[in-house]
Amino acid sequence: MAHHRVPPRTRVRLDRIDPADTGKHADEGAARAKLGRDIARLAKLQDVLYAERRHAVLVVLQGMDTSGKDGTVKHVMNGVNPSGCEVVPFKVPTEEEAAHDFLWRAHRAAPRRGHITIFNRSHYEDVLVPRVHRTVPRAVVRQRYDQINGFERILAENGTLILKFFLHISKGEQRRRLLERLADPGKYWKFSAGDLKERALWDRYVTAYEKLLTRCSTRPAPWYVIPADHRWYRNLAVASALVAALEGLDSHYPPPALSPAQTRRLRAALGGR
């Protein structure tokens, strides 16, 4: 899934990226089978990561309303050990969070070594929403891009693997999913009148996302633009990127704390061979 990765200093134009793209995976059934294999592999890689405690992993999920941030967590991370994985939602800042610099809550939630932390929305809300709603001077927003890059560089230089996924859906698909929420009692609770107000600002959000994707995709903290009109492909693309990145860490289980002779004595004491 490397072709979804945004190279540093590349100007992103979302209208040139097909949100319904499924790459080489025209067969949904085969893609779901591969997703199952990737989920199993991800579980194994996380187990080694947790045991070794040399690296941390930060996954950032951003996207328009209904793009599938919750669904990605549910369907991609369902095989990992919850003891080593946390999901942190970024909502409107609390009074305490608002009293600090905008990156304070993100740094406080950054993953420990051996752990995977998923930001469901993230510190990027603090450049996205102010730009769309024009609540912060443009000069302040421009400064925040550089501050975010610096923050992520610090994490990376201290052993955190960072992967950022923008879940790219079309406006037509968002409309279909909003109608689906209104028609399904099991999904109705997800619907908010505010969704329609934000949808009316679609073009502003596209421009804001293009700006942050362009300014903040760096070598240590790349952005991936994931076509998300098809849920099955979205899940496969994210899972495959995670597996490839974790394999690149070349993690290993730590060596045993006991010598071979001590191990043999303990096995003998327990009645083993």
Structure tokens at 80: 């990992």
DSSP string, 156-204: HHTTEEEEEEEEE--HHHHHHHHHHHHH-TTTGGG--HHHHHHHTTHHH
Closest CA to 73 of 115, 121, 41, 113: 121
pTM: 0.94
Q: How many residues belong to the chain?
A: 273
pLDDT of 17 = 98
Q: What is the pLDDT of residues 193-212, one digit of tens each?
A: 888 999 999 999 999 999 99
Catalogue all structural domains in the chain, each as residue range(s) with its CATH number.
2-269 (3.40.50.300)
Q: What is the enclosing helix (H) or strand (E) of 138?
A: helix 138-157
Percent of the chain past pLDDT 90, that is, above it, reads: 86
pLDDT-derived band at 260, boundaries 50, 70, 90: confident
Q: Is the confidence at residue 273, as pLDDT, over 80?
A: no
pLDDT of 160 = 98
Q: Is the confidence at residue 190, as pLDDT, over 90?
A: no
CA angle 94, 208, 18 (to 5 degrees): 120
Please tell me the least confidently modeled range out of 52-61, 131-140, 188-197, 240-249: 188-197
Q: Which is it for strands 223-227 and 85-89: parallel, antiparallel or unpaired?
A: unpaired
